Structure 1
Amino acid sequence: MLLANLSADTSAPSPRLLSKYSTAADACLRISDLAMVLVAALLAYRLRFDTWTPAIGDWIPISTSILSAALCFNAFPLYRSWRGRGVLSEVWILGLAWTTVLALISVHTWLLQLDRPTYLLWVGLWYVLGFALLGFSRVAVRGVLSMLRSAGIDVRRVVVVGMRPPVIRIHRYLRQNAWVGMQIVGYFSTRDDINIADSTDLHCLGPVQNLREYLAGDRVEEVWISLPMGKLGRIKSVLTMLDKTPVKVKLVPDTSELAALNQSGEQIGSVPVINLRQGSDAPDNSFFIIKAAMDRTLALVALVGLAPLMLAIALAVKLSSPGPVLFRQKRHGRAGEEFSMLKFRSMRADLPASAEVRQATRGDPRVTRLGAFLRRSSLDELPQLFNVLGGSMSLVGPRPHAIQHNRQYGMLINCYMQRHYVKPGITGWAQVNGFRGETPRLRDMKKRVQYDMDYIRRWSPWLDLKIMALTAVRLFGQKQAY
């Protein structure tokens, strides 16, 4: 199923439609992957033991690694069609598969009592070199295919039935990314088409009644149907027209009016299902594993490294004003679940409790002198590393708001509650773009929500690392934090 975000077809292509270049690339990848595993093992052995010839016993883990790679790389899988998918996605999946292979080899060497320090260093070098060589070989194959496709070779030709907004977006994407190897040659008009007078160079191939005649005289690999989702009768008539034509057919549903978020397709049993709204860290997403591992690993490292600073801040808070060191407040997390968010206390604790939760403002009498410094420098947020370690928060994500504010803004801002499709973060895309702290105007909160939605759509490990780097540069001392 092809959705508006150009999700690639993951099923095995039919022999008729699989080009000789794709077949050759698949065979080259399978052979080169196993060759790179062997080369990495021998190169690491040479660096560690100063010889290219492993001992007889050392050939056991090497041969086992080749067998494990053949099985694991197919299981993840790494040999499906990557046409239309970014190279970073493939590299991440490759990293997970290669890590699994070396984990199996490490266990194997331990069982064979080969876990001496010299062998552990060999396996470590093997892991690094193997990942580098495997990644290089795949990027090289992609580069060759990209050059071929940019030159018009191995390009999959597509015609569209109907003209809806998703088709225009896909067409623009394909024109800007020739390496994908797809070309929309034109569309057949229907009564539900939108006006595309000046918005695209796609030309009309005639009314939909001419589709069968066109396919009989021109070789086209795929037909995409782009009709309103309520026009099932017309979709069925197009499918009937294509019954005697051995061509791939895909549905491009128009979800633009449904406020969809990270839409994708899946199959439950024998029933195809379209996910209209979901976060980017769903448990069935491979990136979910990466994000969870990044969060906990970096949070643990940060807690160990910042322990002296956090102890000093805790002591300063305790001495500066009466009250507890930590401030706890209920916030909404992923899927709206409540959790207690931790902060160093930055406000006076001897003031009468108020039923209304108010944002801190400039010159707020509730904020202590030390608290003002902690808030400006974001040091009051450090205890949230414990929230990250416990799994209720992430290092990067939409900032969690007070529950009362969620109820208030949820009524005023469309899609506001979609922020809770992912875990809240200590910092976020909105914060590094200037929308941090007090939001006195509704439009300020709307802008923050727009950045949060953009983050959820675009999430990747690299975006998280970029936001963390920008946090260190932009947030400390930012004037919006009172």
Structure 2
Amino acid sequence: MTVDPADVRIFDRETIRTFQAEIRVQNPTSLSPSARRALRQFGKPILSSRLVGGLYRGAEFVQFLLIGGFAIAWTGLPRTPVSLVLGLAALAFLTVAVADILHSYDPPKLRSRWQQLGRIGTAIVLSTCLLALVWSVLGFVDPWFWVASYLPLALSTALPFRALVGASIRRWTRNGVIERRVVLVGGGGAAETFIRQLEREPDSDIRICGIFDDRDDRRSPPIVAGYPKLGSIGELAEFVQLAKIDMLVVTLPLKAERRILSILKTLWILPIDIRLAASSATMNFRARRSRVGGVEMLDVVDRPMTDWDAIVKRLFDVVVGSVALVVLSPILVGTAIAIKLDTPGPVFFRQKRHGFNNETINVWKFRSLRHDMADPTAKKLVTRNDPRVTRVGRFIRRSSIDELPQLFNVLTGELSLVGPRPHAVHAVSSENETFLEIVDGYLGRHKVKPGVTGWAQVKGWRGEIDRGEKLQRRFEHDLYYIENWSLLLDVYILAVTPISLVRPQGAY
């Protein structure tokens, strides 16, 4: 849970530990008929407004490069030195950077009619004049004459294009092509206040998908400001998973701090942004603030990886995973042959495990147990000198070669190269306790895709779980990875994974 006790006064460390100790994962419940009807509206793909802003940033960079090329042709320069081409790239980059500093690519600005025109115009003028000054100092060929041709061309091209893009984005937002899907937790007057505030922003990309509340119809009406109550908080997790919800907004009065904390301790495991609607006059929280559709919010939990972070991580997985398959192919083929010669049965073994957002996935492994003693549900963990393990299986388990087929899961998108290791759906400890019983908030580790290797594994927490403390330490390392993810951290974990395999503690 990414709540900083220094930012939120009531969330001191002792309070967080107390509430986390009370977390219990509820059994899945069936959705109500109204929730199932609502799900039918969310089948079509949508675009994230932040993703659109990033794409437009790249498109505008190319646009300024082309405008510079036309300007060079217009001035009739006899030659185009390499330094001038590099200067054009610098000008395009600087213009986009200044526009970014002026928040010109923020979703609300891209949807605006006039604000974005003033901001991008300012960015073009400032960046052009700044580089012209630098070019004159460096002795470029008549930079001020060239600027006189570039500046009017850039303004006359970029401003109409911006107006056209803004109109298109507003239309796509109204038609639901670009939207952020939001569910409200808590009905009644606070929810109605939030909805009315949101309605004052006609071009908002927020789409309210429904309301969830445990209170009866007297305290929480079945319909609030035209939006239906779809079910209880216990049904919310399943709805979020099926409807691809982006944000959860708690619309209870902020003076009900204890009830809000009770709800948050259940919902923080979901891989979505969680916000508190700051619509109360008596506000005892001091959290980070943001605005959603013009309405002020208190930021409680942020989704770990969104938009471009998710795209970069996926590209990293595909590229590095493909290279790893090619490089490791001799080991894969040799292992398959050894397994086939050692004992009868298939080479590969598939097991159902927890994936992203608690979805069930089939994970590939090399078979390391005797085929007639296979345990696809992981009801019994493998222990030292386990008679079920084959001779080849003992070696490939200690060296983690049995995990290499999971590279195919990486390419299909079910796994990532780096992330919390996926555990079997029905896995139990050596003391016959389920992982859900051992670790409170255990499902919070599924807020990102599981990985072939992970932070817990390179820190020595792999192998048999004979004590609840081992699973707890794995869980703590998984949460650290989720809250501190970066591409450099992934590269580091991949780099030290072979070193960690030299000390295979607990891997039997």
TM-score (norm 2): 0.47
Query: Greater RCO between the two (CA within 8 Å, min separation 6)?
Result: 2
TM-score (norm 1): 0.49
